[in-house]
């Protein structure tokens, strides 16, 4: 058996397939790979050192930040800035986007990165999986000039690449550049990611639904009806219910086993909870590349025009067949 390729080798091998093969995107992936390893090390130590708990600050959405959120945010931003490969960065943990300093000629860089440095961080306290989500675009403003909000408010369809790091029983990087989805597993002993999941695809049929059912009473009628449909004794149903409360982990499981993830609008939060730009869009791109589908119930997530950096949207994502059934239920009520 030949030796599996490493993420580093894979990045170099694929560079020529890419339209703008100047190595910039490859360097960007290498930085994400490096930051992921550093964050992974810290996440793994979380139970050992006194790093758990609240850092006593709130982010722009008024949510408590955990210390590891801040750590991951700093590590990813530092790595991207130090290596001078992007012109701008937006993060769940930063109120505004960061225009990377032009001192070191960074404005000649073409890419912006949007990320959620540590998603599902409430899981850290209970030793469950968390993830980093990232999304990469080519800037729309001219290279050489300052980066602006327009570089970040692009439709998900314009993404050049997207992916996540899952810090689970194993740590993996799963990403796409629009030519399928590939997953790499970290061998922690030597700090190398190996291609373990080439060309990932949702199975033909899914049998898992993932939703915070505690909010059932507040869901739109179409979602309530769909949940009842999932629970009905008929054909291949009832489906199995699985919900970790960590988007990356729930999506990763559903991608491998076949399933649907739902974070609906609720009567309290009509736009749902998840952020379009750095949570939904990257996952939507991966889903589509893996033969799945995602939407807000009506419009494909990747076709939604963003209007602000931290905006939220209802988010449904998974096996195409399951998504079509769900959308049928939602659209009955308009
Ligand atoms: P976070 O960005 O504050 O971590 O929130 C996002 C997370 C998702 O990973 C997860 O799917 C969802 O919030 C869970 O929310 P809830 O606890 O309301 O079910
Ligand atoms: Mg998040």
Give the model confidence (pLDDT) of 219-244 as tens digits.
999 999 999 999 999 999 999 999 99
In a domain, 203, yes or no: no
Of 197, 225, 241, the domain-final residue? 197
Across 95-109, 148-162, 230-244, least confident range: 95-109
In a domain, 119, yes or no: yes
Nearest CA to ligand 1 atom 12: 245
Residue of 90, 117, 120 to test ligand 1 pocket, by largest number of atoms within 8 Å of CB = 120
pLDDT of residue 184: 96
Nearest CA to ligand 1 atom 4: 120
CB 225 within 8 A of CB 36: no
Beta-carbon contacts of residue 92 (< 8 Å; ≥ 6 apart): 59, 73, 115, 116, 117, 119, 275, 278, 279, 310
* Beta strands at 88-91 and 111-119: parallel, antiparallel or unpaired: parallel
Taking alpha carbons only, the member of 75, 69, 65 closest to residue 38 is: 75
Token readout for 268 is 């309290």
Average pLDDT over residues 198-224: 97
Pocket lining for ligand 1, CB < 6 angstroms: 63, 92, 116, 119-121, 212, 245-247, 250, 273
| 167 and 115, same domain (yes or no) | yes
62 C-alpha to center of ligand 2: Å? Answer: 13
Per-position DSSP letters for 266-295, written without gaps between them: -SS-TT-SSBIIIIIHHHHHHHHHTTEEEE
Residue of 263, 276, 315 to test ligand 1 pocket, by largest number of atoms within 8 Å of CB = 263
Token readout for 266 is 């609720």
CB 112 within 8 A of CB 87: yes
In a domain, 2, yes or no: no
In a domain, 101, yes or no: yes
pLDDT of residue 50: 55
Identify each DSSP E strand in 60-187 by its residue range. Answer: 64-66, 88-91, 98-99, 111-119, 130-138, 161-167, 171-176, 181-187
In a domain, 229, yes or no: yes
Q: Give the domain range for residue 123.
A: 7-197
Q: Among all chains, which residue has been given the structure tokens 């996540």? A: 164
Of 197, 225, 256, the domain-final residue? 197
pTM: 0.93
247 C-alpha to center of ligand 1: Å? Answer: 7
Determine how many CB atoms are found less than 10 A away from the CB of residue 127: 8
Query: First and final CA of the chain: distance in angstroms?
Result: 54
| 151 and 246, same domain (yes or no) | no
Nearest CA to ligand 1 atom 2: 119
**pLDDT digits over 259-271, tens only?**
999 999 998 899 9
How many structural domains is the chain composed of? 2
Average pLDDT over residues 139-160: 95
Atom of ligand 1 nearest to the CA of 116: 2
Question: Is the pLDDT score of 51 beyond 50?
Answer: no
Of 168, 197, 226, the domain-final residue? 197
112 C-alpha to center of ligand 1: Å? Answer: 24
The two counts, helices (H) then strands (E), for the chain are: 7, 15
pLDDT of residue 56: 55
233 alpha-carbon distance from chain centroid: 33
Average pLDDT over residues 106-133: 89
């Amino acid at each position: 058996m030949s030796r599996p390729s490493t993420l580093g080798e894979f990045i170099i091998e694929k560079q020529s397939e890419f339209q703008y093969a100047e190595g910039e995107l490859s360097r960007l992936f290498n930085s994400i790979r490096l930051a992921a390893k550093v964050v992974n090390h810290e996440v793994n130590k979380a139970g050992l050192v006194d790093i758990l708990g609240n850092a006593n600050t709130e982010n722009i959405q008024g949510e408590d930040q955990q210390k590891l959120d801040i750590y991951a945010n700093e590590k990813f931003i530092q790595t991207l800035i130090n290596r001078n490969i992007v012109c701008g960065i937006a993060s769940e943990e930063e109120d505004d986007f960061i225009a990377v300093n032009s001192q070191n000629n960074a404005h000649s860089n073409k890419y912006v990165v949007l990320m959620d440095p540590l998603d599902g961080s409430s899981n850290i306290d209970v030793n469950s999986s968390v993830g980093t989500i990232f999304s990469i675009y080519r800037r729309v403003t001219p290279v050489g000039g300052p980066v602006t909000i327009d570089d970040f408010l692009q439709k998900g369809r314009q993404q050049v690449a997207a992916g996540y790091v899952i810090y689970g029983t194993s740590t993996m990087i799963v990403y796409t550049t629009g030519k399928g989805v590939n997953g790499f597993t970290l061998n922690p002993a030597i700090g190398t990611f190996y291609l373990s999941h080439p060309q990932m695809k949702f199975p033909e049929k899914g049998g898992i639904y993932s939703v915070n059912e505690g909010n059932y009473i507040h869901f739109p009628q179409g979602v309530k009806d769909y949940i009842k449909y999932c629970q009905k004794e008929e054909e291949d149903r009832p489906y199995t219910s699985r919900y970790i409360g960590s988007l990356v982990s729930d999506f990763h499981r559903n991608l491998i086993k076949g399933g649907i993830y739902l974070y609906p609008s609720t009567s309290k939060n009509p736009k749902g909870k998840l952020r379009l730009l750095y949570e939904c869009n990257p996952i939507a791109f991966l889903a589509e590349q893996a033969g799945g589908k995602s939407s807000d119930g009506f419009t494909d997530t990747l076709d939604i025009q963003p209007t602000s950096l931290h905006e939220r949207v209802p988010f449904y994502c998974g096996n195409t067949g399951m998504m079509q059934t769900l959308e049928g239920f939602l659209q009955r009520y308009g």
